[in-house]
Structure 1
Amino acid sequence: MTATSTEPRHWNIGLVGYGEVGRILAEDLRKQDVKIAAYDIKLRSDQAGGALRDHAATHGVALTTSHADLAAQSDFIVSAVTASQAVPVAEACAPAVKQGAWFLDFNSASPGAKQRAAALIDGKGGRYVEGAVMTSIPPYRINVPLLLGGAGAATLAPLLVELGFDAKVASQELGVASAVKMCRSVMIKGMEATVIEAFTTARAYGVEDAVLASLKETFPGIDWEKQGAYFFQRVIEHGRRRSEEVREVAETVREAGLAPWSAQGTAERQAFIADLADEGLFGAKGTAAFARSADWRVEADRILGAVKRKG
């Protein structure tokens, strides 16, 4: 069955990146008995790769040995890696991509990066479509709001809907969907970094209750305790990926001719938290220890303690 089939449940689907996003998509697609293969560079690691292999075995996902191996057998490829790897993944898959195979770029990369990746895939006979994921995936899973862009977007959109995606066409012009995503991320990722910085600093001065009360008065529709806890959790768990995404956001701002002062600061704050997580500050390395604590103050105190120790 080729990627020109109008029956997407008969496709061989390949996932490049078997992290949180890849595993969620695999689970939801396998429930429909769709054939799934996956590749992730972490499969080379005994520790991280073991968990991925266990998940694949549980859900009936075939694991491949390389990008090229995955591309050669896939009618539809989803690239869901870190932002900095969006173009390198397209470059690695392009030589082996099947003629007419779809390549959906899920990555939070700048419009310029998406255009470079598209040239690689389309140049080898594949069909590149950019996908801009418009909110956090876990609550929505495969039904997460998704904007599509590119010449093939209108053709691919209804096929994705058949598979359970909430896909809508943003534009036939590459980069438009990504621009929407990137501009939104200036705000959303910036709010995450701002809340962590503001709440942790307030905690240091012992004024967090007064600050939260003031925020509630100004923005009564937001539960700042709950929202703060969620922002801390997401950044502690995904700060490395988020910092890379925001560097792409900064590049998007540069491409528009502006200096990305806010985006650069957000990227640095996200990376700072990621560094602390990698050092095991929030629990064992590679774990999301915050998920076991509902109080952001616990994590703020750990951050302050680390800052004090580092001088």
Structure 2
Amino acid sequence: MPWTERQQALLQGMGLRIWSPPPAALRPAAPQAAPAIVPLAVQAPVEAPTPAVTQGGEPAPAHPVVSARTPPAAPAAAAVPPPSAPSPQAAGVAAMDWPALREAVAGCQACALCESRRNTVFGVGHPSAEWMIVGEAPGEQEDKQGEPFVGAAGQLLDAMLQAVGLTRSEADAAHQVFIANTLKCRPPRNRNPQPEELAQCAPFLHRQIALVRPKVLLAMGRFAIQQLLGRDEPIGRLRGQVHDYHGTPVIVTYHPAYLLRQPTEKAKAWEDLCLAVSVYRQRQG
């Protein structure tokens, strides 16, 4: 099925070439009576990334799964130092429902970030979304509006999602994503999160994932990857694989803010999104 004019405009706006539809044998079946929202597998045909090839010339296994709990051996320098222990007030987070969790985040004073924030950034999206996106720390605009991924980076993320039939706007669980950050408060001057800050916010993020129960997790940026996988290798070494977070597949990719600074990497981010779509379709079956 050819790309619609809207999808072509979205991809061209992101600086990406138009991908050809997959071969007929791989295309999804034609939809039945036209629903109000076209299913993801039909609305956005995507081309699967080219399989990796081993040194011997043989194709590598499709979508290798790397466990977050038992990662492959890595150099000692790549290990993430153990974070500080969460504060006692976070001990009950694992039992919270959505209202209690939102209230706990809004009133959190576990670290010094509470002193400089304007708003906490809890997250947005469908509470039972099949896709969940995890970003890094809120920036200036996020701190002002209390919502993740706003401004230019948010616009780029929205365009990427729309290209595969997803949205942050109100929709059903299969099409509306849930978006959250590793930190719920903005670090001053947008500096990198500190280990103790990540440790204090980790229970909030983990509880959000447990409540959403997504079929696919998309980790955008180095600190999101560290928080979900406990890995500190460069993103270029981790992308193109299917990682694992307590049984949920994780695809890692670049943060939209990085893509705005390095537009030549947008094609790689598109490949990562295609891989995520492929994994999602497998889990639908």
Length-normalised TM-score, structure 1: 0.28
Greater radius of gyration (CA):
1
By relative contact order (CA 8 Å, sep 6+), the higher-ranking structure is 2
